[in-house]
């Protein structure tokens, strides 16, 4: 007994003598990592740059002093922004303490954490009442979880430097109660399969790892064994709190459920980007502190696949496709992707093409992962990252639809036939968008929201997000009977997904994706095929769009919107402008569309030609008698100017039974305002004719101005690559094998 | 006698023996110049680059063969573009012959000129009848004059190489008749004071210089001694053929009349750019072949001043302010400015700051002037070109109004109080535009036209240019009683000009321009003062706008439009959106404005806050009771979508007697779609109050959010810098000397 006590005393003495520097952080920055970073300074330029920026940012914040205001404002407002700024800065200050070993940083972290400790017991839930899970320092628990994810890292960096009694104080009076608040006191927030909960899980788990509080870690990994109170069914975005059939929760369940086997996250890249940070930062912490869990390899390394999925869901500027509720402009430059890309490099296969993305980001995380990428870049290992034509399957087992991306040169075609996307989903199955470089030729509207901009309803989702942005007519997909898919019911929509039919990206001359939808409209089967066709005749690919409708009963109104941008040049059919502008309808988004002009298609082929920036575009469609084209503009019933006044044309048809909307869009020519020279102002496509259309087959001919004619034919019910097909077309017949046929035909025909 | 003949024979023999290379071009490229260029190749990178581009361009054209089609199309159409392409290429081919001495180029020039010689007698006037002066190869003489200006240069380069009989053929069967066509057969085109005639004069003069045809040179310099047939009063743009009091014509008269002493050209920079080429290229030819004329020094070197005026009429991207009929995007990169800037360097003071503009242009003329700039750049002499705050007086003697440009950091404020601008003028006296970098914060619409884009009415001016773009309401200036200035009568407007009152650019904290207009509206005096105010409190200047109206009689409706761009964020007054959009009026441009929403100002200070790209802007106005603000959008009564759907808000007041519209606009903060962080979303200006307003004085106070208050006062009738002033303001009085007072006042006040 005596001996044991003596040894303990000696050990204690030893520890006290060696001081804090003998024990370092263990969570994200590790003790060894801090030392390596310190030693690498001056040798890896991007590391030096990030380090210098961080020093200047933190030093400036320290000069301004500590400001921990009583929570009051919504996003964009002062108290919200201040608390947000605090957690970003403190995480950095913690890192600087470890890298520089200057105690002023540790002191700053300590003081601010104590200020929060003093604040914590004095505040109840945030005064703003709009969230389904009101926070403490912020209006929603989500932001409080952000706070804890970052503050855990700051705390970890000074944990071993703090006197035991300070640790005890912070653990008992701030962090453990706060972790309980975000979990047991808010099960409707913590126990969902949702990005909100991922943040909650990571927050609770990370502070648990810092404090060596295994109860919290278990709670984070496996969820609460606690039912959500029955009266909370939906969050304030309309998403379900408990998913149908959901029987697990916690971080591992999030990984299981959130990602498809291809790493796609069902809410779309904007939210995937947001969700990736807690996934990856908690994974990094677990990799460091619980290596036995094997978190990086978990589910066939799906977290790393998720990073690649994100990188492939971008335009040529690295901006994410604005699928579902997404603010445009978010990109691989975001702080979350800075973490993600270095994570994927470090914990993955050291893929040198990721380094070119890091170069674009122009900074690295100050941890082991950033050290890896910065060092590799310093030795010149970067290779170009070329996003691919890719099929990203949706659903935990990859069987619930997909996002298709076709790329050809500077052009990108994106089609959504995935799951609805939960509370942030849009009613836009089979919709597409088309990019020329980073220019949106046919745009997806994205969300009606200015994130964090207080003037716009506190920075949250605007009313028009629901009444406009989510509706079917706000997307480049067919609207039937002026109603949204699933009658705009999220709960119903969430049960279904698009049905992939074909995805072919191997042949650069014919890339194609094709999918069906059977549930969006009752008793109607939609089948859309979109292809990027290349020929020697054109510098740009042709976008072929075949949108079939099989309707069992009755007469329907079909409207297919094309959200083009730029200046209308001409159409080959007469249009009549409205003398007075009226909304196109009263609901399902139509109340937000002004009808500007109406055109009645007079030829078998209808064309619309426009100029966007310095390039001409022409849409060429195979029209039916009595087809109409309405030119519209967003902005009706929008009293607060929450919507962009963007243009659209809607291809309209009324009729019974099956029908097909076939069109070809071509980018061509150029216009310079400096030389005032025009090149190729007109399309090379002279006509598009439907040769055949049935449940079994669809065939069209594309006649070029130079007289050449191409035939595109496909089997609508058999995607087997080995099935032989024969189709009578005019007096001839064409034969081919596999689902698709595309060839130039003799000009004599 | 014998001896004389022998010498002549010997001389002739000598010339024949030495061949063509002994005589070179003399017009633009000179014989010595060609040799110098040849020798400089490989030593001046920009020269090499331009040369290589030219070779590849001309070689490619030569491969395509000669195509001289029968004239048929309007601008943008095939025959128009082909003839245009021909003259550009041939001028370059001529230069290449001289520099490379490769006869294939001379042969190509010769063959094409002979093709034109064959075509010429077969064509009458162009079949399109829309021009007041129909051309031969083109729909208007203007383009034919372009042709001749360029073809003269090509012809000059092979003139001494051609056999005598070929020269005689071309002179007699193509060039002399063509020069006569453009002058004596079209006096309504040739004898104007107008950019069209400048081209005509240069064309006739240059071919005269090539052929040593002194009659043509005299005609070019001094005009035709021939009256314009009385039935041609206006051109097809509405401009007068004969100006009031015009008693001279020809090139020297153009120089006398077109430019103000500051080098400003009354049609504005877009047309000045276009007009500069014939001015400078003919001047260069005259400098080479008629040095005794002293053309460069003519009128105190006004041609060189003109180049500097152009460079100062640009935004930070080098794009010209779109004053009057102007297509946006035209810039210092244009081919005309490539000639102009090297001309100004070579014939002027070798100003090293011009070289940085040449660097932006990234090419040089292949002649003596380009050799000068390319060589100077090769030796690293370039200095930055910084456009200045500048007053550019209008009118031949500088007494007919002005364009004012104030610059502060990244911001540029432009105000027009010049002459109307002839046929291309807009009814926009006292209008302004405001730039943040190259971003248009308050835009000038420019012209309703897509130059050379055939789809848009052949590339000419669109109907809406007259019904919209020229009208007062299309500009950021006061509209009274919903009528345009001068009731939109060009003839009347052309007789008047703005009245400069003050221009102060010496003090970077208070830059100011102020002008009056007494004729735009009967019995009403308008007085607008615009200032860029800098204080330590703000990173951006404040735009102070004081628009006074002195009206002798009756009740008037005043409307002051602000063509802002971007997304409306909020106003401090309630606005009510229209359920149905109707045009705001029936004439004077109002028929093209949709009224989208109406606001009634409820506070003494009215604010509108918006986001453009990533910057916030706030307009703060001193409102009167019952002031209204209508939010509108361009596009009503526009059946062909010829107008951009841009937004505006109009500040509206109805009343009797004198009134003042005072506002302050501030750029502030920033929003990033990547970080989603908001900085300074609100203005630093809390209130703007009118302290005093009379015929003699106007004073306002600008109250900042931080509590500081600034007073701006000015004398409205006395701009003498030495006059002392005293003004009672509230209970106090302020005293100052000179026209303007601006100071921070005690916060106790």
Mean pLDDT (whole number) for A113-142: 96
The alpha-carbon gap from B179 to the nearest alpha carbon of chain A, in Å, equals 26
Contact B635 A596 (CB under 8 A): yes
In this structure, the answer to whether residues A343 and A404 fall within a common structural domain is: no
Chain A hits for B452, Cβ within 8 Å: 676-678
In this structure, the answer to whether residues B368 and B407 fall within a common structural domain is: no
Query: Do the domain assignments include residue B3?
Result: no
Q: Which residue of A has its CA nearest to B327?
A: A673
- Residue of A196, A420, A424, A741 marked active site: A424
The alpha-carbon gap from A459 to the nearest alpha carbon of chain B, in Å, equals 10
pLDDT at A675 over 90: yes
- Residue of B83, B346, B424, B741 marked active site: B424
The alpha-carbon gap from B81 to the nearest alpha carbon of chain A, in Å, equals 8
- What is the rounded average pLDDT for all residues in chain A? 93
Identify the helix (H) or strand (E) that includes residue A493: helix A490-493
Query: Do the domain assignments include residue B355?
Result: yes
The pair of structure tokens assigned to B390 is 């500048």
Q: Give the distance, in angstroms, between the CA of residue B468 and the centroid of all CA atoms in the same chain.
A: 19
pLDDT at A249 over 70: yes
Last residue of a domain, one of A354, A387, A420: A387
Instruction: Kindly report, residue by residue over B352-379, the tens digit of the pLDDT.
Output: 999 999 999 999 999 999 999 999 999 9
d(CA A625, CA B553): 61
Query: Do the domain assignments include residue B187?
Result: yes
Mean pLDDT (whole number) for A340-348: 97
Distances (CA, A) of A390 to A255, A293, A310: 22, 31, 12
Residue A574, Cβ neighbours under 10 Å: how many? 12
The alpha-carbon gap from B77 to the nearest alpha carbon of chain A, in Å, equals 10
Query: Counting one residue from A and one from B, how many pairs have CB atoms under 8 Å apart?
Result: 123
Q: Is B461 a catalytic residue?
A: no
The alpha-carbon gap from A580 to the nearest alpha carbon of chain B, in Å, equals 5
Q: Is B668 a catalytic residue?
A: no
The alpha-carbon gap from A250 to the nearest alpha carbon of chain B, in Å, equals 28
Query: Do the domain assignments include residue B2?
Result: no
Chain A hits for B639, Cβ within 8 Å: 575-577, 597
The C-alpha angle with vertex B610 and arms to B605 and B613, in degrees rounded to 5, equals 155
3-state SS string for B143-204: HHHHHHHHHHHHHHHHHCCCCHHHHHHHHHHHHHHHHHHHCCCCHHHHCCCCHHHHHHHHHH
Residue A345: phi, psi to the nearest 5? -70, -50
Chain B hits for A637, Cβ within 8 Å: 577, 579
Element counts in chain A: helices (H) and strands (E) = 19, 27
Contact A676 B570 (CB under 8 A): no
Distances (CA, A) of B355 to A314, B183, B276, B333, B380: 40, 38, 19, 13, 9
Contact A454 B677 (CB under 8 A): no
Interface test with B, best of A78, A326, A453 (most B CBs within 10 A): A453
What pLDDT does B16 receive? 42
What pLDDT does B685 receive? 96
B582 → closest Cβ in A580, A609, A637:
A580
In this structure, the answer to whether residues B379 and B402 fall within a common structural domain is: no
In this structure, the answer to whether residues B547 and B464 fall within a common structural domain is: yes
The alpha-carbon gap from A443 to the nearest alpha carbon of chain B, in Å, equals 17
What pLDDT does B14 receive? 44
The alpha-carbon gap from B647 to the nearest alpha carbon of chain A, in Å, equals 9
Chain B hits for A640, Cβ within 8 Å: 568, 570
Q: Which domain holds residue A307?
A: 259-387
Instruction: Kindly report, residue by residue over A423-476, the tens digit of the pLDDT.
Output: 899 999 999 999 999 999 999 999 999 999 999 998 999 999 999 999 999 999
A677 → closest Cβ in B329, B452, B576:
B452
Contact A681 B328 (CB under 8 A): no
The alpha-carbon gap from B336 to the nearest alpha carbon of chain A, in Å, equals 10
Contact B575 A639 (CB under 8 A): yes
d(CA A471, CA A484): 6
DSSP per residue over B219-258, as a string?
HHHH--SSPPPTT--B-TTS-BSS-TT----SHHHHHHHH
Range with the poorest average pLDDT among A242-256, A679-693, B18-32: B18-32
Contact A645 B637 (CB under 8 A): no
Chain A hits for B617, Cβ within 8 Å: none
Contact A678 B331 (CB under 8 A): no
- Residue of B265, B271, B277, B501 marked active site: B271
d(CA B670, CA B533): 20
Q: Which residue of A has its CA nearest to B583?
A: A580
Interface test with A, best of B678, B679, B682 (most A CBs within 10 A): B678
In this structure, the answer to whether residues B360 and B405 fall within a common structural domain is: no
In this structure, the answer to whether residues B178 and B300 fall within a common structural domain is: no
In this structure, the answer to whether residues B353 and B490 fall within a common structural domain is: no
In this structure, the answer to whether residues B132 and B162 fall within a common structural domain is: yes
Q: Report the first-to-last Cα separation within chain B, whole angstroms.
A: 103
Q: Which residue of B has its CA nearest to A636?
A: B579
Instruction: Kindly report, residue by residue over A7-57, the tens digit of the pLDDT.
Output: 555 444 444 444 444 478 999 999 999 999 999 999 999 999 999 999 999
Contact B455 A569 (CB under 8 A): yes
Number of structural domains in chain B = 3
What pLDDT does A15 receive? 43
Contact A76 B330 (CB under 8 A): no
In this structure, the answer to whether residues A637 and A524 fall within a common structural domain is: yes
Q: Which residue of A has its CA nearest to B644?
A: A567
**Residues paired with A687 in a beta bridge:** A703
Query: Do the domain assignments include residue B4?
Result: no
Q: Which residue of A has its CA nearest to B570?
A: A455
Share of chain A above pLDDT 90, in %: 88
Chain A hits for B76, Cβ within 8 Å: 678, 681
Handedness of CA B578, B583, B589, B590 (dihedral sign): negative
B674 → closest Cβ in A331, A453, A456:
A331
- Residue of A271, A277, A308, A417 marked active site: A271
Phi/psi zone of residue B653: left (φ > 0), alpha (ψ -120 to 50 degrees), beta?
Answer: beta
Name the nearest CA neighbour of A422 among A397, A442, A464, A394: A394
In this structure, the answer to whether residues B195 and B300 fall within a common structural domain is: no
Last residue of a domain, one of A387, A422, A451: A387
Query: Do the domain assignments include residue B369?
Result: yes
Query: Do the domain assignments include residue A620?
Result: yes
What pLDDT does A8 receive? 54
In this structure, the answer to whether residues A268 and A250 fall within a common structural domain is: no
Contact A334 B674 (CB under 8 A): yes
A455 → closest Cβ in B333, B675, B681:
B681
Chain A hits for B450, Cβ within 8 Å: 567, 569, 611, 671
Last residue of a domain, one of B189, B222, B257: B257
CATH of the domain at A440: 2.70.98.70
* pLDDT band, very low/low/confident/very high, at A226 (cuts 50, 70, 90): confident
In this structure, the answer to whether residues B65 and B153 fall within a common structural domain is: yes
Contact A569 B333 (CB under 8 A): no
What pLDDT does B12 receive? 46
How would you list the strands of the sheet with A542-551, edge to edge?
A499-504, A510-517, A524-533, A542-551, A659-668, A615-622, A605-612, A567-571
CATH of the domain at B319: 1.50.10.100
* pLDDT band, very low/low/confident/very high, at A75 (cuts 50, 70, 90): confident
What pLDDT does B243 receive? 74
* Length of chain A as a residue count: 749
Contact B673 A329 (CB under 8 A): yes
3-state SS string for A115-149: HHHHHHHHCCCCCCCCCCCCCCCCCCHHHHHHHHH
Contact B676 A635 (CB under 8 A): no
Query: Do the domain assignments include residue B10?
Result: no
Low-confidence ranges of chain B (pLDDT < 70): 1-22, 229-231, 238, 746-749
Contact B453 A611 (CB under 8 A): yes
Contact A641 B633 (CB under 8 A): no
What pLDDT does B162 receive? 97
**Sole residue written with tokens 């877009």:** B270
pTM for the full predicted model: 0.91
What pLDDT does A1 receive? 44
């Amino acid at each position: 007994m005596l001996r044991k006590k003596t040894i303990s005393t000696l050990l204690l003495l030893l520890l006290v003598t060696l001081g804090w520097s003998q024990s370092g952080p263990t969570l994200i920055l590790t003790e060894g990592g801090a030392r390596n970073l310190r030693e690498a300074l001056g040798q890896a330029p991007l590391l030096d740059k990030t380090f210098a920026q961080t020093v200047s940012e933190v030093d400036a914040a320290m000069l301004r002093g500590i400001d921990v205001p009583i929570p009051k404002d919504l996003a964009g407002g002062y108290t919200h922004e201040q608390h947000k700024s605090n957690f970003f800065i403190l995480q950095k200050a913690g890192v600087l303490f470890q890298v520089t070993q200057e105690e002023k940083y540790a002191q700053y972290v300590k003081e601010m954490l104590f200020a929060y400790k003093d604040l914590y017991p004095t505040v109840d839930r945030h005064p703003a009442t709009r969230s389904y899970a009101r926070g403490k320092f912020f209006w929603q628990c989500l932001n409080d979880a952000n706070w804890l994810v970052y503050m855990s890292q700051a705390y970890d960096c000074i944990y071993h430097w703090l006197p035991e009694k300070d640790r005890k104080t912070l653990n008992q009076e701030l962090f453990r109660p706060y972790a309980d608040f975000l979990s047991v006191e808010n099960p409707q927030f913590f126990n969902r399969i949702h990005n909100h909960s991922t943040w909650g899980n990571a927050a609770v788990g990370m502070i648990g790892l810092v404090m060596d509080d295994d109860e919290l870690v278990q709670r984070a990994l496996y969820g609460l064994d606690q039912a959500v109170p029955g009266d909370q069914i939906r969050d304030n975005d309309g998403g379900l709190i408990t998913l149908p059939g959901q029987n697990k929760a916690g971080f591992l369940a999030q990984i299981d459920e959130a990602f498809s086997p291809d790493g796609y996250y069902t809410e779309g890249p904007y939210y995937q980007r947001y969700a990736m940070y807690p996934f990856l930062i908690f994974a990094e912490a677990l990799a460091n502190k619980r290596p036995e869990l094997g978190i990086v390899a978990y589910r066939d390394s799906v977290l790393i696949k998720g990073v690649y999925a994100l990188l492939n869901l971008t335009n040529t500027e690295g901006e994410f496709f604005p699928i579902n509720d997404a603010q445009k402009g978010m990109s691989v430059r975001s702080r979350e992707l800075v973490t993600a890309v270095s994570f994927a490099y470090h914990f993955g296969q050291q893929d040198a093409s990721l380094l070119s993305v890091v170069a674009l980001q122009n900074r690295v995380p100050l941890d082991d992962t950033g050290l890896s990428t910065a060092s590799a870049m310093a030795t010149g290992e970067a290779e170009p990252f070329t996003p691919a034509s890719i099929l990203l399957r949706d659903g935990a087992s990859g069987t619930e639809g997909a996002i298709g991306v076709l790329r050809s040169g500077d052009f990108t075609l994106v089609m959504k036939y995935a799951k609805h996307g939960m509370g942030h989903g849009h009613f836009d199955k089979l919709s597409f968008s088309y990019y020329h470089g980073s220019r949106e030729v046919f745009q997806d509207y994205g969300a009606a929201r200015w994130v964090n901009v207080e003037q716009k309803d506190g920075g949250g989702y605007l009313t028009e997000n629901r009444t406009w942005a989510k509706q079917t007519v706000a997307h480049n997909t067919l609207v039937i009977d002026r109603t949204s898919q699933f009658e705009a019911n999220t709960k119903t929509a969430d049960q279904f997904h698009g049905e992939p039919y074909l995805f072919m990206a191997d042949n650069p001359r014919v890339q194609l994706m094709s999918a069906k939808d059977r549930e969006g409209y009752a008793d109607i089967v939609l089948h859309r095929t979109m292809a990027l066709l290349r020929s020697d005749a054109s510098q740009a690919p042709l976008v072929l769009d075949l949108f079939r409708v099989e309707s069992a009963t009755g007469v329907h109104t079909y409207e297919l919107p094309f959200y083009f941008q730029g200046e209308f040049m001409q159409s080959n059919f007469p249009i009549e402008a409205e003398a007075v502008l009226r909304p196109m309808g009263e609901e399902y988004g139509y109340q937000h569309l002004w009808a500007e002009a109406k055109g009645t298609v007079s030829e078998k082929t209808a064309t619309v030609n426009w100029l966007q920036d310095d390039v001409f575009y022409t849409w060429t469609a195979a029209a039916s008698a009595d087809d109409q084209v309405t030119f519209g503009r967003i902005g009706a019933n929008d009293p607060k100017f929450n919507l962009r006044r963007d243009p659209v044309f809607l291809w309209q048809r009324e009729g019974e039974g099956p029908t097909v909307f076939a069109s070809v869009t071509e980018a061509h020519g150029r216009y310079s305002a400096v030389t005032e020279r025009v090149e190729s102002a007109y399309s090379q496509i002279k006509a598009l004719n439907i040769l055949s259309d049935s449940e079994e087959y669809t065939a069209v001919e594309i006649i070029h101005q130079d007289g050449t004619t191409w035939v595109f034919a496909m089997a609508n019910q058999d995607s087997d690559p080995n099935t032989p097909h024969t189709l009578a077309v005019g007096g001839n017949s064409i034969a081919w094998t596999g689902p698709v046929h595309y060839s130039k035909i003799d000009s004599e025909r």
